[in-house]
Amino acid sequence: MARNIGPACRICRRENLKLYLKGDRCYSDKCAFERRAFGPGQHGQSKFKKLSDYAVQLREKQKVKSMYGMVEGQFRLTFDRAERQKGVTGENLLVLLERRLDSAIFRLGMASSRNQARQLVRHKHVLVNGRKVNIPSFLVSVGDEITLKEKSRTNSLIVENLEAVARRGVPSWLELDKDNVKAKVKTLPNREELTLPIQEHLIVELYSK
């Protein structure tokens, strides 16, 4: 399945949850989810019968996939890796998703959305430990230093994003030096820091069938 390139607001409305896929627009009065908090399409406001257990599990997986902008193959590989690690599979999965470089860039406020963060990485604006990394799925580790190319640090869009970082805040596992546009991974993320309502056990149940 290819990555969804259609209207992002439809995804939020379908999942009945604001996923913050369009950056600053999601915080404004223009947010489509706020204006039309019902499903998209002709029958969006209709009342449907109760979803089956499988449908609930599938929707949870689709929601998290959309949130992190991943295709099915990428997501399944990440799940398989989480399953092989010690500990709780669902929590391992979320930690791996948060450790993705595009997700870390978004969490730091250098980009207003994960999609924008993915573009920054793809276009070689991002350095990890002084080396260019253009792979959005690259996993950051404790002690890694994340920064931008010298020319990119004065980009007006990035400067605006960093000015607005106080609105979202930076998670405690990351340390941001806003003046020098660089950050450091202090520790690995933990489950308690993920504020969006994700029921990871449903994804584990789905893939365990």
For residue 206, pLDDT over 80 is answered with: yes
Closest CA to 162 of 145, 147, 140, 141: 147
For residue 86, pLDDT over 80 is answered with: yes
- In eight-state DSSP terms, residue 48 is P
CB 190 within 8 A of CB 171: no
pLDDT given at position 1: 38
Closest CA to 75 of 19, 6, 3, 133: 3
Q: How many domains does the chain have?
A: 2
Residues 176 and 154 in one domain: yes
Q: Which domain holds residue 164?
A: 100-191
- In eight-state DSSP terms, residue 147 is E
In a domain, 3, yes or no: no
* φ and ψ of 175, to 5 deg: -125, 120
In a domain, 176, yes or no: yes
Residues 43 and 85 in one domain: yes
Residues 75 and 127 in one domain: no
For residue 80, pLDDT over 60 is answered with: yes
In a domain, 25, yes or no: yes
Residues 150 and 119 in one domain: yes
Residues 186 and 203 in one domain: no
Question: Average pLDDT, whole number, for the chain?
Answer: 83
- Global pTM reads 0.80
Residues 34 and 81 in one domain: yes
| pLDDT tens, residue by residue, 45-64 | 555 567 789 988 998 998 89
- In eight-state DSSP terms, residue 27 is G
More confident residue, 113 or 131: 131
CATH number for the domain spanning 114: value is: 3.10.290.10
Residues 109 and 44 in one domain: no
Residue 88: which pLDDT band, with cuts at 50, 70 and 90? very high
pLDDT given at position 200: 94
In a domain, 185, yes or no: yes
Residues 134 and 203 in one domain: no
